[in-house]
Amino acid sequence: MGIALAAPLVARAGPLIPSTPDLGKAEGRCRAGESGPALLVNVAGLKDRKGNLKLEVYPSNDEDFLADDNILVSAGKTFRRVEMAVPATGNVQVCVRIPGPGTYSISLLHDRDANRKFGLSVDGIGFTGNPKLGMRKPKAAATRLSVSSGGVSQTTIVMNYRKGLMSFGPLSQ
Domains of the chain: 27-164 (2.60.40.1120)
pLDDT in tens, 30-82: 877 777 799 999 999 999 999 999 999 999 999 999 999 999 999 999 999 99
Of 135 and 73, more confident: 73
| Reported confidence tier of residue 7, pLDDT bands at 50, 70, 90 | very low
Q: What is the pTM of this model?
A: 0.84
Q: Assign 111 to helix, strand or coil.
A: strand
Half-sphere exposure of 55 (CA within 13 A, CB side): 31
Measured in residues, the chain has a length of: 173
